[in-house]
Chain A
Amino acid sequence: MASSSPSPDWSPRQWPRIFFRFFTSFKLATVVLIFMTLVTLLGTLGQVEHGLHAAKEKYFHSFWFFDKIFGIPVLLPGGLLLMILLFTNMTLGAIVKVKKRWKGVGMLISHIGMLMLLAGGFVTWAFSTDGYMALYSGMSSNRVESYREWQLEIVPLSKEGVAEKAWIYPAGYLETMMPDEQRVIHAESLPFDVVINGYAKNATPIPTAAPMAAGVTGKEIDGFKLSPQKPSKEAEQNLPGCFIEIRPRDGGAPIEAILWAGSYRFDPRENPMPFTFTVGDQLYGALLVKKSWTVPFTVRLDEFIFERHPGVSMARNYESRVTRFEEGQPEKPLEIKMNEPMRHAGYTFFQESFGPSGAQPGDDMFSQFAVANNPADQWPLYSLIVTGVGLGVHFLIMLVQFTTRSRKRFQSNPAST
């Protein structure tokens, strides 16, 4: 038997060294990369069953998750944990620990590029926002709406039905509600409490008289029941619904209603249709609306150009001519088209899609922009440049080394060639 290696020193004094050795090892890098491949594969296959959004959350935006592999439940590290480990390993191993030799400068630079890419991914995940803005020609807006997040709004209305301010129950709270959960919301500024229950991420109201309503449990209100549906694979397609009960604090009779996201506008020209009720002398509206926020400038759509390939329904080009208005700045006409977004004040407007669905050439159409605010917007490009330079330098060094060796070999033994 060969002599066994000495037992490692596990005394606390050695811990920093042990940790450093562990986090800088090629073995850790290899294991992390193998798990990343596995998780990427599972996350790709998982999209077939769960849809993109749910799969992203489960596999890639998590520290760990359970999954069945060949029918056996296994606990696996999530994408977030793996990327943190990889970042740590690369920083300590490829930047700090690595011997700083001229031969390794290319690899050093390319690893810095990859670290930038990972850091960019983290900044995007943690700090970016994305939503959309849809406009018909002539319409202008500075409001961006979320694709998936819904919030509850209680709106005091004037006699003409106009709202000046809104009381909001945030999307983050609604998202966490369980179907059998009841929440009582008390706001000092409102003369009533609001009770929410039966919240479903995807639901549809059904007339009680309809045959399919027989299998739906839950309250019946004004001849309707709320039927929870299986969440769609495309999370943007989900239309949540819930029951609300308005309990006036002055002892008036409670008011019940079904709120359903389907009554929200899906065409930029339509107005939202709230459930209206009166408490005291004040008219109020309640509705589920998409979470929204404003950008520091206004965009007006001047013209939407939509072209199809001749004789077929396939879109060849769609682009928007817009004017941007900003306080203290001259108005600026611009073009937003596929692969040519508008970047301004930290926001980027992309030509995303158009509507309404089924519109034919010549119909009045709206243009939809994806609006992203990503502090790391251009980091991948910088990272690619850095990585490319690094790999280029490395290959150059390798080439010089190879030709030098070949020359030396030739000089020492010319006959061998």
Chain B
Amino acid sequence: MKNLLTALTLGCLALMAGTGTLQSRELPKSALQNYVPWKEDTVHTFENLLVQHEGRVKPLYTVARFTLMQFLGRSAVSFETKDGEQHKLHYAAWFLDVLFRGEIAKDMPVFIVDDSAAVVQIGVSPKAKRDRYSYNELLAGRAKLAELGAQYAEKQDQYEKSEKDPQYELDRIEGMILTLGRNVSSFEYLLGQFGFARKGELLVNGNILPPELTELAKRLDTVEMIDKMPEMTLDQLVQTIRQQPGETEEERMFSGALRLFFFHANSARGLNFFPPQDPEKEEWTSAGDLMLAGLESKEMRPWVKTQLAGVQGLVNAKNEGEEAFHAALRSYSDAQHATAEARGEGTHSELEIHLYRGKWFSNSLVFFILAFVVMAFSWLTPASKTGKRLLFAAGVLAFIGLALNIYGITLRCLIRERPPITNLYDTVIFITGTAVLLGLILEYYTRLGVGTLVAVVSGVLGMFLSIKYEAKEATDTMGQLVAVLDTNFWLATHVTIINIGYAAALVAALIGLVYLTGRFAALFHKRENPDFYKLLTRMNYGIICFCLFFSLVGTVLGGIWANYSWGRFWGWDPKENGALMICLWTLVVLHGRFAGWIREIGIHTNSLILAIITTFSWWGVNNLGVGLHSYGFTEGVWGALYFSWGILAIFLAMGVVLWLKERGERTTRRSGAPSGKEVPA
């Protein structure tokens, strides 16, 4: 027991040391003198606001999360103010600053630039090679950024249209400038969302307005102005603005007011906060859309004014202090939720916040890492009672990690009202959960420690991958489905089953790695336990059979779905081919074994080939850019795949060495001592 405690303490110290190292990293300096954080209650009320984004009504919390990930590649903003204080803002608090304290948000370092060459090109003084910049720091290069961004966007468009002609391919720096330009533009839209409600406070693009309009903006109430305008469409508004203002003061005033109105309406697009007036309509609108709708129809104006006045009330309340602001936010949020609920929308928003706030997947990773540390200590005293206890503790920790993973997946199912897998991100968390479960089941039956090892390694790698993938893609992972996927039956059957097959293939490979490592190491210390390896082989063979069953059934079910949807069972689509290759290679193992070509080492080395095929099918084919299952290019996937295949190739080479050695020994045995069996003459 004492040993157990010592080991655990050491593990915790190691983890704490790692965390400490992370915390002591230097934070980017902000131009802000100081920073007063929002109260927690205010942030919670704010994050509960609803918005229709990418086709679905969701809490603002989710939008904030993925917007910051898109800009910064992480979910918290850290910086140091001039007064020497260090701050770490949660994405919801940051988003609240962007919408209601834009001047402060402009000084927060939220734009990650991977290579300073990109900022040099737009005429901004570079910081470190890879660093974070605030909007104000990039402002000097804003015009150049817009120019280069437009140029590279056109080049990228040509690249797609020319079926990927290399002459149009963006290089790394061009790609960064394009991304940075898009992020800065998105940020400006966010800053301008409530510009109509802030009299004269022009946070972005104020420089494009002439001085007289800037002055006018301080006096003009955009919301009140709607009532006084003539009915006109957007086209008529644009045409009127383009005309020369009249001679009289009144005409000039009218023209200026129209230009300001257009300026605010244009800045307030993107965030759809307002449920439609007509209950039959589905599309929510932004403040900008509302302003234009009010301009177009006098009938709409009373309703439009009420909606915009709601936001105006929030902006005014913010100026009165946080208490008043919080009260106004709560009242606005209650009203918005009541409207949405009456329409049957936003019903799972609290569950969604619970999903992200709970950090179930990150916590799951923490438990898997803990399990790994504990298990590593168990290897110090493998045959002792302490070793067994530690191994059991590792299994329990892995089980808790699995429970958190399953809980997170269940929440996602409930929020979307869908089966567990609808996109690539879902496959990562599902396959991880399945692999961990398989590992723990193996451990339950074999008690060798190998099942726990498989479970823990699968958990660590899978959850780490899921977190990296989510940060890299930085888009809502619970997005809407295209029409053909709008079928819970096929998603629940074909997609789930085929991914269980993937998980089994990866588990087989991990067992293969354990086997080959053990046998290869035994070449040097000459101690081997043949029974242990035979048991591993039986385990791996069983898992390969399991993989075949799920891959085969899943593939055929996929064909049947394709036959219902597209009129053909099999189209040689890359994803179909990937699944087929998994089935074929498991059949190679099974038939090769019956043929006498594949024995112990063969089963394990082939399980590694199976893993190479599986990862190609899972990630590689999506990036080929062809086929019906091409989910879009994920940068860096090929590099990661080549790296993992390189590692597997080393183990394959170890397998070949073992096989050659065993073959040599067999030949020696045959040529030396008689085996006792009769050989036909």
Contact = CB atoms under 8 A, between A and B. Distances in A.
B560 A380 contact: yes
B681 A3 contact: yes
A310 B553 contact: no
Interface string A332-371: 0000001111000000101010000000000000000011
B224 interface: no
Given A37-B613, A309-B480, A384-B560, A45 B567 contact: no
Interface in A1-17: 1-3, 5-6
A352 B569 contact: no
Nearest to A132: B567
Nearest to B489: A339
Given A310-B282, A380-B563, A391-B549, A26 B581 contact: no
Interface residues of A, number: 62
B577 A314 contact: no
Interface in B622-643: 624-627
Interface stretch (B48-56, B122-130, B215-223, B235-243): B48-56
A401 interface: no
A380 B283 contact: no
A272 interface: no
B560 A339 contact: no
A43 interface: yes
A352 B566 contact: yes
A166 interface: no
A18 interface: no
A36 interface: yes
Interface in A38-61: 40-41, 43-45, 47-48, 51-52, 55-56, 60
A315 B482 contact: yes
Interface in A367-403: 370-372, 374, 377, 380-381, 383-384, 387-388, 391
A45 B483 contact: no
Interface string B93-120: 0000000000000000000000000000
Interface stretch (B141-149, B367-375, B587-595): B587-595
A47 B574 contact: yes
Given A25-B595, A316-B486, A380-B569, 16 more contacts: A1-B671, A29-B591, A33-B584, A33-B591, A37-B581, A37-B613, A41-B581, A55-B572, A124-B568, A311-B284, A316-B483, A339-B564, A370-B567, A371-B567, A384-B553, A391-B549
Interface in B555-580: 556-557, 559-561, 563-574, 577-578, 580
A92 to B, nearest CB: 14
Contact of B569 (A40, A124, A233): A124
A312 interface: yes
A271 B443 CA distance: 70
9 contacts: A1-B671, A3-B681, A33-B584, A309-B54, A314-B480, A316-B486, A372-B568, A374-B568, A387-B556
B153 to A, nearest CB: 18
A350 B565 contact: yes
Contacts of B572: 43-44, 47, 52, 55-56, 60
B566 A29 contact: no
B487 A339 contact: yes
Contact of A5 (B54, B581, B588, B680): B680
B51 to A, nearest CB: 10
Contacts of A124: 568-570
A314 B481 CA distance: 8
B679 A311 contact: no
Contacts of B592: 26, 30
Nearest to B163: A233
Interface string A290-319: 000000000000000000111110111110
A380 B556 contact: yes
3 smallest beta-carbon distances between A and B, as pairs: A309-B55, A26-B595, A372-B567
A59 to B, nearest CB: 8
A312 B54 contact: yes
A309 B584 contact: no
B155 to A, nearest CB: 21
A350 B595 CA distance: 44
